Amino acid sequence: MAEAESPQVDLHEIAKETAIYEVLDQLDRELVGLRPVKTKIREIAALLLVDRMRKQVGLKTPPPSLHMSFTGNPGTGKTTVALRMADILHRLGYVRKGHMVAVTRDDLVGQYIGHTAPKTKEVLKRAMGGVLFIDEAYYLYRQENERDYGQEAIEILLQVMENQRDDVVVILAGYKDRMEQFFKSNPGMSSRIAHHIEFPDYTLDELMDIAKLMLADMGYRLSPAADRALRSYIERRKQMPRFANARSVRNALDRARLRQANRLFARPCTCSVEDLMTIEEEDIMASRVLQQSQAGAT
C-alpha cells in the first residue's frame, strides 16, 4: 500500500500573498546601510513565515516570543524599523492591526500615587493588536529614587508581555550601555526580550547618501561645491557632542534650505527652476559648525 503524500506548502506563494517581500524591499530602500539590522529583520520574517507554513500543515507551532530591544544612538533608524516590524507582524498574522504606538516614560509613569497604573493601561489598550515602542526605556527605572513610580509601570508591562504576547509586541529602545544596565536591574524584563538588535552609527559616506535622498525627496539637490562642503560639515559634526546621525543631517539640511531661501529673497532678479532647486556652497559654509572650524584653523 503506497504511503500517503505529505501536504505541500509553497513558501514563496505565502510570501506573495502577504506581500512580505515588498515590506522588506521598502525597508532596504528607506534605510541606507544598517546591513546587520536588515539581516536580523529578514531572519525574524523568515521564522514567522515558516511558522505560518507549519500551522497550515498541522505541525506544532509554539507561539514565538517577539518582544525586542533596539539599541543604538539617536537617528539610526530605530523608529522606522519598528514601524516596518509592525507591518511585517500584521501581514503574517501575528498582530491584528499592525499599528505602532510610540511612547516615553512620561506617557506611562504618573507623578502621584494611583496615577501610573491608569496611564500605563491606557497606553497598552491603544497598542493592543500592534506594537508598543518605548523609547529611552531605561528611564522607567530609577533605582536612586525609592518613591519613583516607574517600577509600577514595569510590573504592568511585564504582566502584559507575558500574558498577552499574542496581541501586543513590545519594543524597548535606547542607548546600548544604558539598556544593558536596565536589563541587569530588571531580569524579568530581560527574560522576556527575545530579539536584541543593535543599530550601528552611519559612516560618512552613508550619511552623505542619506542627505542626498532627503534632498531629492524634498525636490532639492547639491551643487558640486555644496556637496564637498556638506561632506566637510558632516565630518566635523560627527566629532561634536549630541550628534544624532540622520537626524542631525536632516537638521543641517533644513538650515541650508533656510539660508538658500534668504539668499534668493535678497536677490533683485528672477529665479530659475535650477536656482530654486540647488543648494549652493555658501548655504552650507555659513553653518556655525564650519565657521567655528575655520576660526580654529586660523
Among 295, 220, 275, residue whose Cα is nearest residue 252 = 220
146 within domain boundaries: yes
206-to-33, 200, 278 alpha-carbon distances in Å: 6, 12, 21
Residue 138 and residue 15 share a domain? yes
Per-residue burial over 66-81, b = 16 or more CB atoms within 10 Å of its CB, e = otherwise: bbbbbbbbbbbbbbeb
Whether 156 and 274 map to the same domain: the answer is no
225 with 152, same domain: the answer is no
Using the predicted structure, report yes or no on whether residue 297 has a pLDDT greater than 60.
Answer: no
Q: For the domain that residue 230 is a member of, what is the CATH number?
A: 1.10.8.60
pLDDT of 223 reads 97
For residue 28, being part of any structural domain is answered with yes
What is the pLDDT averaged over residues 217-227?
96
Please report the pLDDT score of residue 298 as a whole number: 42
Q: Do 38 and 70 reside in the same domain of the chain?
A: yes
183 and 271 within one domain: no
Domain assignment present for residue 6? The answer is no
In contact, 82 and 195? CB cutoff 8 Å = no
- Do 73 and 168 sit in the same domain of this protein? yes
pLDDT above 90: residue 119: yes
> Into how many domains does the chain fold?
2
Residue 261 forms part of a structural domain: yes
d(CA 124, CA 119): 9
DSSP 111-161: SSTTTHHHHHHHHHHHHTTEEEEEETGGGG--TT-TT-SHHHHHHHHHHHH
Distance (Å, whole) CA 109 – CA 145: 14
Of 179, 199, 219, which marks where a domain is finished?
Answer: 199
Question: Does 70 share its domain with 186?
Answer: yes
- Please say whether the beta carbons of 117 and 156 come within 8 A: yes
Q: How far apart are CA 173 and CA 168, in angstroms?
A: 16
Confidence band for 1, pLDDT divided at 50, 70 and 90: very low
Beta partners for residue 279, in sequence order: 222
Range of the structural domain that residue 48 is part of: 11-199
Among candidate residues 164, 199, 234, the one where a domain is terminated: 199
Structure letter (DSSP) for residue 49: H
83 domain residue, yes or no:
yes
Cα(269)–Cα(256) distance, integer angstroms: 21
Residues 26 and 146 in one domain: yes
| Residue 2 lies inside a defined structural domain of this protein | no
Instruction: Tell me the CATH number at 176.
Output: 3.40.50.300
Average confidence score pLDDT of the chain: 89
291 confidence band (pLDDT: 50, 70, 90): confident
CA-based nearest residue to 167, from 127, 198, 137: 127
Range name among 142-156, 239-253, 272-286 with the lowest pLDDT average: 142-156
Q: Give the three-state DSSP class for 298.
A: coil
Q: Which three cell numbers stand for residue 108?
A: 506611562
Across 174-202, average pLDDT: 93
Domain termination residue (choose one: 166, 199, 232): 199
* 217 within 8 A of 274, measured Cβ to Cβ: no
Region of residue 219 (left: phi > 0; alpha: psi -120 to 50; beta: else):
left
For residues 91-97, average pLDDT: 88
Residue entry with cell 534668504:
262
User: How confident is the model at residue 6, as a pLDDT?
Assistant: 65
100-103 β-sheet, strand order: 100-103, 130-135, 168-174, 68-72, 195-199
- Residues 266 and 8: their CA atoms lie apart, in Å, by 70
Please tell me the predicted confidence (pLDDT) of residue 107: 94
Q: How confident is the model at residue 146 (pLDDT cuts 50, 70, 90)?
A: low
42 belongs to a structural domain: yes
26 and 174 belong to one structural domain = yes
132: confidence class by pLDDT, cuts 50, 70, 90: very high
Let me know whether 193 and 222 are in one domain. Answer: no
d(CA 224, CA 230): 10
Q: What is the mean pLDDT of residues 93-100?
A: 91
Q: What share of the chain is helix, strand, coil (3-state, %, to 5)?
A: 60, 10, 30
220 and 193 in one domain? no
Considering the domain architecture, whether residues 158 and 219 belong to the same structural domain is answered as: no
In a domain, 149, yes or no: yes
